[in-house]
Each structure stands twice: as C-alpha cells, then as structure tokens.
C-alpha cells in the first residue's frame, strides 16, 4: 500500500479519502503525519536558488515562513482533496478572517455585495463596518425569497455571500438556485459552508464559486484551535492566494497540525452528531413546551425538502423555540442543563446550549419564524457533541421541568 496521496485514484469514497488526504511523502517523510515545521527563515543552498524562490511563488515550495511549510501545505492539500472542483485552499487565522480575506479579494470600492439576511452575525457586522468603510455597499436579502434576491442585483453587484442553514434560525436556502442566479448576473457566489462542510454539501460542484469554512468548528472539532479556509477553482484560488499574501495571512504550524488531526475523524464525528441531533430534535418536536424545532435534517421541519434534495449530510447544530415562553423561563432551562456547556461556538466533541434572539441580527426576515406566534420567540440553539444521546435527552427532560416552574 502506498501512503502517497498524490498517487491515489480520485474516485475513492470520502472516508477513504480523508485518511489519505494531504499525506504526500515529500511532506511527511517516513512517518504518518507531517512534522510541525516551525519556521520563519527557509535556507537556500546558494544565491541562484535564493533568487529562484520568490520568482516561482508556487504552492508546496519553500520560500519564507509566511508562505507556510509542509504542515500547513498538508492541511490545505487535504481540504482541497475533499472539495471536488477546487484548485486550492487558502488558510486563515479564523473563520471571520477567511470571510474578510475573501471579501477583500473580490470587492472594490463602489461594488455592491449581497449578504444573506440570516448570515453569521460577524458577517453582517463586517458588511456594515469594514466593507462600508471601504466604499462597498452591503445589501441584505431574504434567501427564501428568490424573486426578491434576483431583483436586488445591479451592474455594481460583484459578489453574493450565502450561508445555509442560516445562523441561529436554520432557514434552508436553495443554494444551487441562488448560485445560478448570481452567475447569470455576473456576480461571484461565496458560501459559508461551516455547517455542512464538503462532506455534507459539495459547494463547488453545486455551482458555488468560493466555499469557505470556520475550521474552528467541526474540522478542528476539539474546541482548542481557531482557523478558517477558503477553497476555489483555478482563477479565484489564484486571486485569493495573492490577496492573502498581500495581507500577510498565515496560520501557525502547530495549529495546522491540530486541525489536520481533527480532520481525520471529521466524518465519524459528523455522523454521530447528526444521528444524535436527529434523535434529540424529534424528541423535542413531540414535547408540549416546544413551538417549533428548527432543524432541516428533521422530516417535517422547515427546509427539510431542500436539505434532503441537496445535502448528503448534516451535523449536530440546530435550534428550537419554546411555546409561549418568557426569556427568563428559557434561561432557566439552559441554566438547569447539566451536560451542556453554555458558550459560543460549536462543532467540538462536547454539547453546548445558547439562548438565541436573532431579531437584532436581521432586517429582512421575520422572527419568530412563521407560523409561530409572537410569544414563541425565545429560542435555544443546541450543538450536539459526542455524548450518548439518551443521556442528553434525559438532561433536557429534567431541564424542561425547570422551564415549567421556577
């Protein structure tokens, strides 16, 4: 058996490709994983080789620390191997840095960018802050209203930023349709694919131009590292890479090794979390305290039809809203949970719960989601980890008692 990923046939299943991805013998040497190359200076044998370094500016060649070394290259290469249609992957020091890096590559002063109204809140903030400061106009759109979205394009619309399911509220957009319209209008489509990863949604194959992820979440998977990525086809990858070099974007080799370690078990963790989340979501859907479960993976839940048409997998992240709750009762529920941490982020091995009130983070979409009543606005987002789902359900059951009575 050869361990050289460059020699593997391209038609292996994902589980098999995850094992081999990025493991080029020239980077790993005789061991399984690439060593952690902590390096700023790369030494050259002579001045002729020194002159050659910057001239070639190719991936996977030593030049200087800011262009990385085999630890980072192996991670980029592995992520590229998992995204069919990608020419390469740029790594960023966080998910937000990836979004900023992509926006600063695609947009110029005077451009318009369309941003999904239910996008991750720091993405919105970037539109209203950084991008507006640079003379770029963000326009927010309801991703469920395809006609309204199409009507927002103008000659200045350079890019659209999509995310599905929506952060916190989990609405499922028709991504192939939105990407197709963007292409017809001459705009570049960017998808924040953190929720599904390429294992659950092959973005570039489905017409998206740039697929980005917060590797901080599932790919890292252990709540101990922050990183982001953006993968694209040849032309856009070249532009992303060049802009990242101009911005001095680099990730540490230690962090790259942690993310690479997380990546090897990504498919197993996603499968377990998806199965557990489905069990917990269907338990919640049957509870009288719950008005609505917002989990596109759950049959009958909003967005399930689109999810089952377009996605091949999910993850442990979903939300629900209480029926006729107060914020205080919802918070009592969360505080009573024993097995769920209270905190931001998700995609780690441990379960988390977060109170949600998305109405402050949107301008075009309703909250609470229809057909809920106005009093059904107090929600919870659950990130299901690797615990036994029966234990998590028992914990939720006892916390529901705290919701009912102080």
- Asked whether 353 and 341 are in contact (CB, 8 A), the reply is yes
**147, two tokens:** 């006609």
Tell me the C-alpha distance between 383 and 225, whole Å.
17
Q: Quote the tokens at residue 114.
A: 């369309």
Determine the distance from the C-alpha atom of residue 358 to the mean position of all C-alpha atoms in its chain, rounded to a whole number: 19
**From candidates 63, 120, 140, 311, binder to ligand PLP by CB under 6 A:** 120
- The interface region with ligand PLP, picked from 94-102, 103-111, 247-255, 389-397 by CB under 6 A, is 94-102
- Within a 13 Å sphere around the CA of 163, how many CA atoms are in the beta-carbon half? 26
Marked catalytic residue, from 23, 202, 217, 330: 217
Whole-angstrom distance, CA of residue 58 vs CA of residue 146: 40
Q: How far is the CB of 110 from ligand PLP (least distance, A)?
A: 26
Which candidate, 271, 315, 285, 274, places its Cα nearest to that of 396?
285
As measured in angstroms, the least distance from the Cβ of 251 to ligand PLP is 11
First to last CA, the chain: 62
Q: What x-and-dash track marks residues 159-188 binding ligand PLP by CB under 6 A?
A: ----x---x---------------------
| 96 is a contact residue toward ligand PLP (CB under 6 A) | yes
Piece in contact with ligand PLP (CB under 6 A), picked from 14-22, 212-220, 371-379, 396-404 = 212-220
CA–CA separation, 341 and 191 (whole Å):
28
Closest C-alpha to 333, from 268, 228, 405, 273: 405
Taking the complex as a whole, how short is the minimal distance between the CB of residue 403 and ligand PLP, in angstroms?
A: 26
> Quick check: is 120 catalytic?
yes
Pick the stretch among 3-11, 92-100, 152-160, 284-292 that binds ligand PLP (CB under 6 A).
Answer: 92-100
Q: Minimal CB distance to ligand PLP: which residue? A: 95
Task: Restricting to residues 306-345, name those near ligand PLP by CB under 6 A.
Answer: none
Length of the chain: 406
Instruction: Candidates 116, 194, 274, 319: give the one binding ligand PLP (CB under 6 A).
Output: 194
Question: For residue 305, what are its two tokens?
Answer: 């039809």
**Residue ranges binding ligand PLP (CB under 6 A):** 94-96, 120, 163, 167, 192, 194, 214, 216-217, 226, 228
Q: Name the residues annotated as catalytic.
A: 66, 120, 192, 217
């Amino acid at each position: 058996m050869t361990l050289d990923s460059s020699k593997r046939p391209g038609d292996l299943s994902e589980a098999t490709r995850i094992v081999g991805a990025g493991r080029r013998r020239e980077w790993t040497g005789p061991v399984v994983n690439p060593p952690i190359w902590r390096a700023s200076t790369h030494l050259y044998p002579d001045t002729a080789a020194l002159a050659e370094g910057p001239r070639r500016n190719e991936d996977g060649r030593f030049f200087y620390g800011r262009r990385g070394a085999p630890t980072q290259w192996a991670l980029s290469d592995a992520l590229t191997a998992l995204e069919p249609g990608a020419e390469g992957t740029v790594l960023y020091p966080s998910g937000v840095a990836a979004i900023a890096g992509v926006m600063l590559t695609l947009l110029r002063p005077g451009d318009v960018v369309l941003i999904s109204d239910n996008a991750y809140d720091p993405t919105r903030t970037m539109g209203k802050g950084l991008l507006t400061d640079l003379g770029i106009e963000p326009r927010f759109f309801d991703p469920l209203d395809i006609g309204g979205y199409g009507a927002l394009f103008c000659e200045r619309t350079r890019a659209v930023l999509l995310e599905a399911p929506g952060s916190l509220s989990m609405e499922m957009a028709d991504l192939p349709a939105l990407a197709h319209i963007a292409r017809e209008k001459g705009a570049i489509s960017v998808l924040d694919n953190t929720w599904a990863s390429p294992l659950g949604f092959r973005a570039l194959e489905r017409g998206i131009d740039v697929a980005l992820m917060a590797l901080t979440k599932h790919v890292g998977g252990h709540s101990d590292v922050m990183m982001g990525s953006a993968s694209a086809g040849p032309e856009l990858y070249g532009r992303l890479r060049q802009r990242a070099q101009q911005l001095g974007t680099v990730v540490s080799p230690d962090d790259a090794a942690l993310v690479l370690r997380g990546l090897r078990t990504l498919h197993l963790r996603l499968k377990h979390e998806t199965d557990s989340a489905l069990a917990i979501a269907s338990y919640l859907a049957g509870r009288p305290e719950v008005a609505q479960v917002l989990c596109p993976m759950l049959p009958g839940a909003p967005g399930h039809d689109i999810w089952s048409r377009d996605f091949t997998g999910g993850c442990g992240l979903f939300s629900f809203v209480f029926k006729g709750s107060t914020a205080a009762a919802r918070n009592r529920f969360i505080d009573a949970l024993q097995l769920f941490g209270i905190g931001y982020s998700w995609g780690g091995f441990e379960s988390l719960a977060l109170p949600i009130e998305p109405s402050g983070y949107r301008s075009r979409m309703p909250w609470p989601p229809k057909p809920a009543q106005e009093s059904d606005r107090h929600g919870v987002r659950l990130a299901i980890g690797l615990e036994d789902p029966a234990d998590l359900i028992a914990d939720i059951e006892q916390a529901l008692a705290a919701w009912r009575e102080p």
